[in-house]
Amino acid sequence: MNPPDLSPLWIRGARVIDPAAQRDEAKADIFIKDGVFVEKFSAAEQAQARVIDGQGLVATPGFIDLNCRLGEPGRDARETVRTGTRAAAAGGFTTVVTMPDSLPAADNIGTIQLLREICARDAAVRVLPAGTLTKEHEGKALAPLGSLKKAGVVAVTDTTSGVQNNEIMRRALEYAAMFDLVVLDHCQDSSMTEGGQMHEGAWSLRLGLRGLPRAAEEIVVSSDCLLAELTKARIHLQHLSSGGSAEIVRRAKARGLSITAEVSALHLLLTDGALARYDTHLKLNPPLREESDRLALIAALVDGTIDAICSDHSPCTATEKDCEFDQAPFGAATLETTFAAAYEAIVAGGHADLALLVARLTSGPARVLGLKAGTLRTGADADLVLINPKAQWTATIAAQQSKGRNNPLAERVFSSQIRSTYVGGRLVGGTA
């Protein structure tokens, strides 16, 4: 990233929400100097500062995404660090954790170093690399986790492959715990989902598509909880889709296990009925499930069972999705609409207020990985989002920053919008 603009920045009269500091003020000022938040400005600094009128806006910490794909290295036809991080900035994300299913896989120091060099040159936001849990994320031999930790990874995961052998998963968890690495797990028993295209239920029968049952996710969620208890390792469950999974996590947390979880904004907003017209942009893994699951996930998010909202950004080219449903790859390009979709589901849907939504996008994911981010406290890096909570706008493919052409929410009208995003006090997305 380029160095931040060193001139002081004064945001005046905005509503300020900082869940990490238990702060929610109807009208307050924010002061930024030398890339960090400061308590106040001197008279001289006020005279020199760039002033932004915050009336009608909400100022929050920059969002943190625990689950996205930035294409590079090796998949730059789908996305690049340059385009992906600008999409993140447009969506209010100032820190993103990028998944290791690149080409080559991020299972070695060389690939991690290459990614870090690309990010140093091209990234608009902070990019934190995750490494693979096993070599080539094949679930057979453990990756060199100690070397990956030294190279800068913040977590390890086999992404959508998942580790299908419980003995290997146990040893991987013990190994990861030695280096204080969080294991991110895509919970899916692949023996139950081979050939699956969408959620197994009434709609899959109606559409004639093979289903992915809830049990395929819930079995692995259960085994992860048992292994977390056995190994004392930290496990973060990625993009939960089942109400049953949320209940298993709720019970595990009540027992004090080191389990955290996330949900994607699409799973909060939509159900499997949205696939009625075989829209390949809505072919997701895990799949969209039923209304009962959607409501259970929202309830789990509200009560803190689910810690974070993720984008699960998985960009594809237009041609990859322009085919028969069963031939299309899984995934949706969602970085730019994650906040807006979550706002529609949670706030506009009447389930919780904006402060809780902000918490699940900032302090929640920061706690999962122990990041020094997601706050407006004095001395913290000045990563900031300004939100217009009453702005109606329409998401369009033409206006997006991402190369991914598979955003299923394109042409949808939203009722809340990211106005601007700052990283280290520097404007990286939106308007000043």
Judge whether residue 366 has pLDDT over 60: yes
pLDDT attached to residue 70? 97
Is 76 a catalytic site residue?
no
What is the rounded average pLDDT of the residues 276-287? 97
* 134 band by pLDDT with thresholds 50, 70 and 90: very high
Judge whether residue 185 has pLDDT over 80: yes
Q: Which domains does the chain show, CATH number per domain?
A: 61-369 (3.20.20.140)
| CA angle (301, 307, 312) in 5-degree steps | 90
pLDDT attached to residue 2? 47
Distance CA 271, CA 293 (A): 8
* 211 band by pLDDT with thresholds 50, 70 and 90: very high
Distance CA 75, CA 234 (A): 30
pLDDT attached to residue 4? 47
Judge whether residue 1 has pLDDT over 70: no
pLDDT attached to residue 5? 52
Computed over every residue of the chain, the mean pLDDT equals: 96
The one catalytic residue in 101, 272, 293, 312 is 312
Judge whether residue 289 has pLDDT over 50: yes
pLDDT attached to residue 7? 80
What is the pTM for the complete model shown? Answer: 0.97
Judge whether residue 306 has pLDDT over 50: yes
pLDDT attached to residue 260? 98
* 6 band by pLDDT with thresholds 50, 70 and 90: low
Taking only the tens place, the pLDDT of each residue in 50-106 is: 999 999 999 999 999 999 999 999 999 999 999 999 999 999 999 999 999 999 999
